[in-house]
Structure 1
C-alpha cells in the first residue's frame, strides 16, 4: 500500500510539473456596458472564413477569428459553411518528418448546406472587394471564386450577394476585412495573373460604397487594413535560403515581369538582394529552389502536368527556353516570373497596399467604425515577434507559429492574435470591456498541427490552390 501511495504521489508531482508549461493567465469577464452586439455577421475573404493550410475545414473554421470574437461577446458559435475533413481543397499535411507537404487524401463534404438562412460567417475564400455587393455566383463575379457558390448557396438564398445576405440577418454588429485579394493575387502569382493589383481609385470607390452600406446595416462595425507582403512568410522564407547558395560574385537569373525569355538578357538578383528582401522568391518555389544550378526543367514538368498538356508541348511554345542550362544561372533557363517578385513588383504591391489602407482608414474615420491596423500589427510582429499572455510567436514559416502551412493564412494561434486585436479596437472605439481570447490552447493546437521544425517544401501541387484563393493564377 505504501508503494502505491508513493507512486501516486510521484505521478501527481509529474502532472503538476507538466501543468507549469501552461502560462498562468488572469481571466477577465466581458462587460458590454449595455451595448448589443448581436446578431453578429462577419464579411470577408479566406482569412475571415478560417481558411488554413490551403483548406476550408471545420477543425480550423471553429477557430476563425470571427468565431473566437463571437464566443468572447457571449454569442456562442457562428454558423459557418462547415466542411468535413480533409476540407475543400484538401488540407496540406506533413507526410514525413523531413517536411514534405501534400494535400491529405479523401474528400471533404459541406455538412450544413440546408441551413434555412444565410451563414453568420460570410467570409468567402477568393473574393475581391468588388464581389461583396455584386456577385451572386462564381460565374457573375469578378474573382471567379468557386467558394461563392458554396457559401452563398444561390438560387436557394434568392440570388443574393454577400451584402444582401448580411442584410437578411439584420445584424447589429459586423466585422469586415476585405481587399487583401485585390493585391495578393498579383503578388502571390509573381505578377503573372493578374498582371497588376486593383486600381487604387476603383478600390476607394468600391470601399466607399460598401462602407456606406455597412453603416446602414449595423450600429457597430469593425474594419481592418491590409497586411504588407513583407510580413508574410509566403514571401520571406525561400529567398535567404537561395541566397546562401549563390557563388561569390554570382547572380541569380530570373524572368522579368511580363517579359519573354531571352537568350541574352534576364533580370538579375544578388545574394544581398535576397537576404535584404529587395527581391522575394515565393514559397511556391520551395521544391524548385533545390534545382538551382542544375540543368533542370522540373518547374515546367509540373506546370505542364497542372495544365494537362505534355511538357514537350509547353516547352516548345516558350521561345529560347533551354532546360539543359543550369536553372537560375542562365538567361535561357531563368527563375520563372511566377516564382519571384522583383523590386518593381514589390513597389507596385506596396504602393497599392498603402493606397488601399489610406482609403480604408479614411472611411473608417468618416463612419465611426472601429479600425484594426493589421498592416502595422503584422509588420511589428515580423520585426519583433509577438509576446502577450506569456505566448511567444513570430512570422517565421512553421517555427513562428503565427501562420499555417501555406505561409499566408493565419494558424489557430494567429486567429487568436487577430481576434484580440479586433477586441482591442472594439473596446477602444465602442467603450466595451470584452475579455481577450486566451491564446495558450490555440498555440498548443498550432504546435501539434505543425509537427516539425523543418521547413516544408512547396510546389505547384501544394500551393496552387492558395495562390488561386488569393486571386492569382499561375498560367
Structure 2
C-alpha cells in the first residue's frame, strides 16, 4: 500500500481532414457558399478609449497553476482590448511576468512554483526555475488589475501589495489599493469579473477547513481559508463599482460559477481503491479483519460508518467527517471490555498487554470516520496521496510501541488512516460554498441592474459546460481535466481557449446592453484559435 496510483490521464488527439476525395470537391462546386455582407462594426454607446480590467486570477490570465507571459497575452481582457481597438480602444498594458515558466524567486530561492504542463499521463510541474524576481517593481500605469489571490474586500485595502506580490510588483505606491490604482486611470470602460471567487476558493481548495469571518485584514488573513460574509462582499463589491463608475464609465460584470463543478473537485473518484491493484488487492482480507472488529460498534451507533472493502469492485476511501459525533470513547471502552480483543490483536504479533494501546489507537483514529460516498468531493491533490504511507504518523505509532511494519499498515492514507478534512469537501461544506456563492451572485446581479451595467451569467455557462458541454465552433468544451478544453491543468482556472469563450460572452453582453454589434458584424473571437495547454519547451 506504499503508493496506490489510480488516475491515468491521457490526451486524445484527433486529426481532422477535409475534401479527401474528388466527390468532396464536386460537392463544394455544386453548393457554393453564398457571401453574406455583414454590418460595419459600431461601438454603440460605449467609449472604449480607456479600458481597465479589475478582477482576480481569471482576469490576469492565470492558467495551469501559474501566471506567465503566454497566459497573460491570452487573458480575456487582453483579447477584449484587441476587439475594442477596432472601435477606438486605446493601448492595453499588462504587468507581464518575466518568462513563460511562471512562479516567483527571491534571489536564488523559489517562492512560487512553475506552471504545470501535460506530461502524457497528467499534469506535472515544469522542470524549470522561475526568473521573475518577487521584489522587482514594474513601472505603470497598467490596464489589467487582475490580481491572483485577491478577495473582494482586498480591493480596497491600503498596502495590500505588501501581502500579495502580484499586486506589490505593480502597485503605484506601497500604500496603494487595487481599486484606487484602477480608478486612477479614469476608465471609460471596465470589466469587473470573478470578484468573490477567491472568497470561496480558498475554503474549497482547503477541503472546507475555514470558518466564516468578517473581512478584517491582518497579517494572516491573506492566506486564510475562510468564507467571506455575504454582507462584507456586498459592501466591497458595491464600493468597487462605485469607484469605477464615478466618472460615468460603462462596464460589464460577471457572476461566479459553482466552483465545485470544476475539475479540481470532480476528477478524483470517491472510490479509487481497485482490488486488481497489486498494492491494494492482497491487503483486503487483512483490512476487513481489522475493520471487522470495529464494524459491530459502528453498526450499533450508525450503520453508515461501517467500513468494508470489496474484493470484486472498487472501494471508497476512508475519510474523517467532522460532522459525525466523536465516538472515540465508545470505541475504546467497547474494545477494552471485549474478551476476544486480546486474541484479535495477537494476529498482529502483539501480546495481550498491548490491548489498551491498540484500543486507544483504534478509538482515536476512527472516532469520526466513514467511507466516502458519491456526495463527497475529493480535491485534486489527493490523487497523489491516497494509498501512500504517512511517514510522520507511522513514526508516531512506532514510538507508541508498534513495529515498523505494523505502524505502516495503520498509516496508509485513505485506507487505514482516514483522509483529513483538507482533502475532502463533504456535503455540508459544499452547501456552505453554494449558499455564499448564491448570495454573492444576487448582489452582483442587483448592482449590475441598478447601475445599468452589462452582465454575464458565468454561473450558467460553467453549469452548461459541466453537464452537457459548451458548444464553441467545432468543439464541445467541458470542465473535464486535460481533455475538456475549458479548464486548465490546475483544475480551477481556464485555458486560453476558455478565456476566449469568456471574452466572447462579454462581447455579447456589451452588444445587448450598449448597442454595439461585435457579434452581428462577425467580430467575435474564434476560441479554436487559442491553445488548451502549452508545451514544456515554452519557457
TM range (shorter): 0.7 to 0.9
Q: Which has the larger radius of gyration?
A: 2
**1:135: Cα distance to partner?**
3.4
Normalized against structure 2, the TM-score is what? 0.67
Larger deviation, residues 384-393 vs 86-95: 86-95
Checking the alignment, whether the CA contact within 8 Å between 2:67 and 2:102 is kept in structure 1 is: yes
Residues of 2 paired with 1:449 and 1:362: CA distance? 42
Residues of 2 paired with 1:432 and 1:111: CA distance? 41
Residues of 2 paired with 1:433 and 1:113: CA distance? 41
In structure 1, what is the equivalent of residue 356 of structure 2?
none
Larger deviation, residues 247-256 vs 145-154: 247-256
Aligned: 1:242 with 2:242? no
The correspondence for 2:127, drawn from 83, 91, 104, is 104
The 3-state SS of whatever aligns with 1:402 is: coil
Q: Unaligned 5+ residue runs, structure 2? A: 1-16, 25-32, 104-111, 211-223, 276-308, 327-362, 401-406
Residues of 1 paired with 2:36 and 2:496: CA distance? 21
Aligned: 1:381 with 2:459? no
1:267–1:420 Cα change, 3 Å: farther
1:48–1:257 Cα change, 3 Å: farther
In structure 2, what is the equivalent of residue 221 of structure 1?
251
Residues of 2 paired with 1:60 and 1:148: CA distance? 17
**1:390: Cα distance to partner?**
2.2
Residues of 2 paired with 1:206 and 1:447: CA distance? 34
The 3-state SS of whatever aligns with 2:169 is: helix
What per-residue deviation string (whole Å, max 9, x for no partner) do you get for residues 47-89 of structure 1?
A: 1000111111001100000001111111376211111121224
The correspondence for 2:529, drawn from 416, 441, 445, is 441
The 3-state SS of whatever aligns with 2:54 is: strand
The 3-state SS of whatever aligns with 1:263 is: helix
Give runs of aligned pairs for residues 3-402 of structure 1, distance below 5 A. Answer: 30-33=41-44, 35-74=46-85, 75=89, 78-83=92-97, 84-88=99-103, 89-94=112-117, 96-99=119-122, 101-109=124-132, 116-139=139-162, 144-152=163-171, 154-155=173-174, 159-177=175-193, 178-193=195-210, 194=224, 196-239=226-269, 242=272, 247=310, 251-257=316-322, 262-270=364-372, 273-274=373-374, 278-289=375-386, 291=387, 296-297=389-390, 324-325=409-410, 326-330=412-416, 333-402=417-486
**1:111: Cα distance to partner?**
12
1:269–1:223 Cα change, 3 Å: farther
The 3-state SS of whatever aligns with 2:482 is: coil
Normalized against structure 1, the TM-score is what? 0.75
1:85–1:279 Cα change, 3 Å: same
Q: Unaligned 5+ residue runs, structure 1? A: 1-13, 302-310, 452-475
Checking the alignment, whether the CA contact within 8 Å between 1:94 and 1:100 is kept in structure 2 is: yes
**1:112: Cα distance to partner?**
13
1:256–1:360 Cα change, 3 Å: same
Larger deviation, residues 189-198 vs 165-174: 189-198
> For this pair of structures, how many residues does the alignment match?
400
